[in-house]
Amino acid sequence: MGITGLLKIYSPGAAIIAENEISRKMFVIKEGKARVYRTYLDQKITLAILGPGEIFGEMSFFDAEPRSASVEALSEIKAVEIDGENVQTNLENIPSWFFPLLKTVFHRFREADKRVTILQSMYEFKKKTLKGDDIAKVCYLETQRLLKILNVLYEKHSRAGSEVPKTMIYSELDSLSGQRTLGLSVFWDALKNFDYIDAIKDEAGVFHPDQKRLERLSEYLKAQVKEQSFMILTHSALAIIKRILSKVSQNEKDQTTGSVMIKDLGLSHVPLHADALKELEEKKVLQITQGALSSPIPPLMEVFMFQGFLKCFDHMHVNID
């Protein structure tokens, strides 16, 4: 007889497993997303984001130890629940050496989780206690510096009135920028992907920038650096902005302010959307009033574009889209 389970449905935000509880239930996600986290120094430290086909609770299922982490639903979840207490007879044919081996492996996993939690907590603490996020600060200052060098090089080579070779610009930018934190290839690809340079001409070996767009990007970086506001939004926050912009009609974009109801955005499908809404409000990107999100639309579109560009260099954030 095979191992069977019960199909359970959990609402967004529901606690499925609690850290340190005694339970031998294992879950297989059929639909939806869940967050695995540990609580350390009164803050939630995310260990993983799980989706369809993934399993959680398997360690306690086999070794019967207290739960090493908590799991909560990020969206509505349909999961198959398998209770270890009810399937013991199905496991009798497994070799006797197998379970001690599993316990050894799981012990190592639990210890690794503890170390990850402490390290991640140190990183979060550093972000909260410093005036600005060091990683974001580096992204801003390095991007600003590379753009300045790129502009000088383009002006120098474009005076001849002929097309500027990409290889020449790239090679000189590489040489003049010296030691860098940002990878030059990543920087260059981001310029193409966000239409700051002509991707078609780039493929043909010609450097052709959109100088107006690059100037707006440089002005944005300059203003943020001046305010010491090195903001890099999370992927969830960017997903919410994208949904807002898609909801606002073309007529509303021509107005000063656009507004959309939170309930109309379908945020149950956006991981950590509650935290992202709080982030957008705290950073004054959006105003939340009586269930509605509002913001001047042209600046919001630019924030979305600039933040998406900067996100290319923010390697300390996990993409959960």
Residues 6 or more apart from 239 whose CB is under 8 A from it?
A: 270, 276, 321
Q: What's the pLDDT score for residue 92?
A: 57
Edge to edge, the sheet with strand 70-73 lists: 15-17, 70-73, 34-40, 43-50
Does the domain made of 6-129 have the CATH classification 1.20.1050.10? no
- Give pLDDT tens digits for 44-76: 777 778 889 888 887 777 666 788 889 999 889
Specify the pLDDT at position 317.
36
- pLDDT score of 114: 56
State whether CATH 1.20.1540 applies to domain 235-311.
no
CA distances from 241 to 13, 43, 256, 260, 319 (A): 21, 26, 17, 11, 16
Residues in the chain predicted with pLDDT less than 70, given as ranges, are 1-4, 40-43, 62-64, 84-134, 249-258, 314-321
Q: What whole-number percentage of the chain has pLDDT above 70?
A: 75
What pTM value is reported for the model? 0.56
Domain ranges of the chain: 6-129, 134-226, 235-311
